Amino acid sequence: LIGGFAVVFNDGRAAFLTAASLKFDPNQVQGIWAPNMDDATCATVNHKYRLITYGRKSSQGAVYCIDESSGGLELSHQLTLSSQVYPGEVGPVGCVRWTPDGCALALAWSHGGFSV
């Protein structure tokens, strides 16, 4: 399991906050920046499969995992909507959520539409 919180800042940067102890101590919290992320809109964590997912202003999603050797976030895969599937403008990702079993991801756009 992954322990921590995914956060999105007003300027679009994204990070994952974690600590060595389960007891909250502000001095023990460590932030791990999501590389190449400057347009994040929302986030969700898949604790079962140790994945952190961020929605983006570009209508895409980005899924990260924690690199065991460096401790940093590593891009696992991108979530994109093909213009052949939906030729219109969907806008920024408004919400992204994993199912309770962690096996599927739902993504919704601010101008309408969703994908599972």
Distance (Å, whole) CA 40 – CA 12: 5
Could you report the per-residue pLDDT of 65-114, keeping only the tens digit for each?
999 889 899 999 999 988 888 778 899 999 999 999 999 999 999 998 88
Could you report the per-residue pLDDT of 10-59, keeping only the tens digit for each?
999 999 998 877 777 778 888 999 999 999 999 999 999 999 999 999 99
pTM above 0.85, yes or no: yes
Burial of 100 (0-12, 13-18, 19+ CB in 10 A): exposed
Res. 1: pLDDT tops 70: no
Residue scoring higher pLDDT (5 or 23): 5
Distance (Å, whole) CA 102 – CA 97: 9
Q: Are 59 and 74 in contact (CB under 8 A)?
A: no
Domains and CATH numbers, the chain: 5-115 (2.130.10.10)
Q: Are 17 and 8 in contact (CB under 8 A)?
A: no
